[in-house]
Amino acid sequence: MENLKLNNKNLSQIAERVATPKYDRSAIKTGIVHVGIGGFHRAHEAFYTNQLLQDGTVKDLGICGVALLDFDTKIYNTLKEQDGLYTLIVKELDGTHTTQVIGSIVECLFAPENPIKVIEKMASPEVKIITLTITEGGYNYNEATKEFDFTNPLIIHDLEYPQAPKTIFGYLTQALKLRKEQGLKGITIQSCDNIQGNGHMMQKMLLSYVAKAEPSLVTWMETNVSFPNAMVDRITPVTSAEDIANLKENTGIDDAWPVVCEPFKQWVIEDNFIAGRPAWETVGAQFVPNVEPYEKMKLSLLNAGHSVIGLLGALMGYNTIDEAVHNTNIRTFLNNYMHIEVTPTLGDLEGINLNDYKQSLLERFGNINIKDQIDRICSETSAKYPIFILPTINSQLKANGSIKLAAFVTAAWAIYSLGKDEKGKELNIKDALKQELHKQAITATQTPSSFLEIDAVFGDLKTEKTFVEAYTTAYNDIVNRGVEACIKEYNSNTIKPN
């Protein structure tokens, strides 16, 4: 089989081998600007949008993908080279692969190369929605002050050089300013990140920035910009060299950066689109009046569940989530955490069978074909912990509920931050706060609670006596006996409620 580079020119030949866009890509106009064209966006929104374009009637909802950071050079170059095309490989539960070329990203821009072009694109009349996957840390929210972090050097830069911004806040401000000057009406800014009330969070953070950078825009924004909340879900591991090689071997498609993901997908969106919206519900998304309960459920069960397996699994020497969750001690611990500590905080989830949801998570985590990297899950825990785990602890403390298992995971993270697993193997820690975490982790070897002094992560958790005690006991237990012996004991002492 002849190898074919993935690009427009080869698309009709590639169509003889795998599913490709049925629509004429050259007829599709950009209606959405998306910032952050990593794996998740390409497995999720770009996939849904591709399905929406398939019948050929919708022509004005193509995506312009924006790579915002210098770090994104590689994905930008790859997509440019491939005319925005990429392969999505869904790894089914039975081990088979469903392979499809996605065509919904019809343009790409690299912000560091041409910031003005990005601003103008965001401000162009045909663009109705700006969607974002900028990671949890990208919202520039400080857990200690509960406010926008104006001390961030990149924000200081953007305030000083508004025409050459580096952050999403600088870009959006300039784009909205231009829209206002041009007399354009509404635009929707839609977050697709794992944050409780992600739309509200973006709105609050952006308004804080705008109030300083362009105060006259604030009132205009109130009536011209909407920020729907949404729950997004599809497990998307980092693409491996093996994935790229297998695709080439099995199909002859030469794609420099395909995306691999699980079959499950979910997108629950608040119907709050000031300039109209795609009919994503026709391709499986759900529009609801209030998305908050769904978000809470997903963040505190799926995402937190990932962190639980990741942090415990990393210390025990596992490399992938499925390996770790197939360890019955970890699995039982996770199950107990979900039932005992998270479930009481979720309130009423009308229409959802929570037991089925929790059961399905265990299946998804255990999918042996996905091989989701523990390194990926543990990366940026300092931005994830305040969103995935801290709210559960705070609600449980308020209700006098159990926090023992969450405290155990927190202690495991403190030990993880020392940089070695229990067998002495170096851990590959990626975290914006890596230095600080390491420093506090070292102090914690003498006084365990000092790890909790990182206020930007833990807020005022260090003042919660019940938590600090449980955490300190867990810390000493792990040091003395190792994670597995401890969780075994925790599991046998835990009575699972019905």
- In this complex, which beta carbon is closest to ligand CS2, that of residue 194 or of residue 396? 194
* Binding window for ligand CS2 (CB under 6 A); candidates: 167-175, 214-222, 227-235, 481-489: 227-235
Instruction: Please state the closest distance from residue 249 (CB atom) to ligand CS2, in A.
Output: 27
Min. distance of Cβ 390 from ligand CS2 in angstroms? 14
Q: Among all residues, whose Cβ is closest to ligand CS2?
A: 306
Which residues, in sequence order, are CB contacts of 294 under 8 Å at separation 6+? Answer: 231, 268, 288, 349, 352
Out of 33, 118, 119, 235, the only residue in the binding site for ligand CS2 (CB under 6 A) is 235
Residue of 177, 234, 296, 339 that binds ligand CS2 (CB under 6 A): 234
Query: Which range touches ligand CS2 (CB under 6 A), out of 229-237, 343-351, 453-461, 483-491?
Result: 229-237
Question: Hey, which residues between 354 and 373 contact ligand CS2 (CB under 6 A)?
Answer: none
The residue among 40 and 471 lying less far from ligand CS2, judged by its C-beta, is 40
Number of residues this chain uses to bind ligand CS2 (CB under 6 A): 8
User: Long-range contacts for 320-328 (Cβ within 8 Å, ≥24 apart)?
Assistant: 320/371, 320/372, 320/373, 320/374, 321/365, 321/370, 321/372, 321/373, 321/374, 321/377, 322/365, 322/366, 322/367, 322/368, 322/370, 322/371, 322/372, 324/374, 325/362, 325/365, 325/366, 326/366, 326/368, 327/484
Distance CA 36, CA 167 (A): 12
What's the N-to-C CA distance of the chain in angstroms?
A: 56
Site for ligand CS2 in 184-213 (CB under 6 A): 194
Judged by beta carbon, residue 277 or residue 384, the one nearer ligand CS2 is 384
CB-wise, 43 or 118, nearer to ligand CS2? 43
* Smallest separation (angstroms) from ligand CS2 to the CB of 349: 18
In whole angstroms, how close is the CB of 44 to ligand CS2 at the nearest point?
8
CB nearer to ligand CS2: give 234 or 371: 234
For residue 431, state whether it binds ligand CS2 (rule: CB under 6 A): no
User: What is the rounded distance in angstroms from the CA atom of residue 187 to the CA atom of residue 184?
Assistant: 9
Task: Pick the closer one to ligand CS2 by CB: 78 or 373.
Answer: 373
Looking at beta carbons only, is 234 or 358 nearer to ligand CS2? 234
CB 152, CB 212: distance < 8 Å: no
- Rounded to an integer, what distance in angstroms lies between the CA atom of residue 64 and that of residue 56? 18
Min CB(70)–ligand CS2 separation in Å: 22
429 phi and psi, to 5 degrees?
-90, 125
Could you tell me which stretch among 23-31, 230-238, 253-261, 419-427 binds ligand CS2 (CB under 6 A)? 230-238
CA distance 320 to 340: 25
Looking at the DSSP bridge assignments, the partners of residue 148 are: 141
| Minimum CB distance to ligand CS2, residue 143 (Å) | 17
Minimum CB distance to ligand CS2, residue 138 (Å): 13
Distance of CA 154 to the CA centre of its chain: 21
Q: How far is the CB of 182 from ligand CS2 (least distance, A)?
A: 36
Shortest distance in whole angstroms from residue 100 CB to ligand CS2: 19
Taking CB under 6 A as the criterion, the residue among 45, 143, 158, 233 binding ligand CS2 is 233
Q: Specify the stretch interacting with ligand CS2 by CB under 6 A; choose among 165-173, 232-240, 419-427, 456-464.
A: 232-240
d(CA 461, CA 474): 16
**Cβ contacts of residue 127 below 8 Å, gap of 6+?**
30, 31, 32, 33, 64, 121, 187
- Yes or no: say if 254 and 5 are a contact pair by the CB < 8 Å rule: yes
CB-nearer residue toward ligand CS2: 38 or 448: 38
DSSP for 259-272?
A: EEE-S--EEEEE--
Interactions with ligand CS2, residue window 322-351 (CB under 6 A): none
φ and ψ of 452, to 5 deg: -75, 0
**C-alpha distances out from residue 305 to 37, 164, 336, Å:** 25, 39, 11
**Distance between CA atoms of residues 434 and 418, nearest Å:** 10
- Residue 48's alpha-carbon distances to 38, 62, 307, in angstroms, are 15, 11, 27
CA distances (Å), origin 425, targets 310, 314, 318, 372, 472: 16, 10, 11, 20, 24
Separation between Cα atoms, residue 494 and residue 126, nearest integer Å: 57
Question: Using CB under 6 A, which residues numbered 373 to 402 contact ligand CS2?
Answer: 377, 384
| Site for ligand CS2, residues 291 to 310, rule: CB under 6 A | 303, 306
Report, in Å, the least distance between residue 234 CB and ligand CS2.
Answer: 5
Instruction: State in angstroms the smallest separation of the CB of 157 from ligand CS2.
Output: 27
Binding residues vs ligand CS2 (CB under 6 A): 194, 233-235, 303, 306, 377, 384
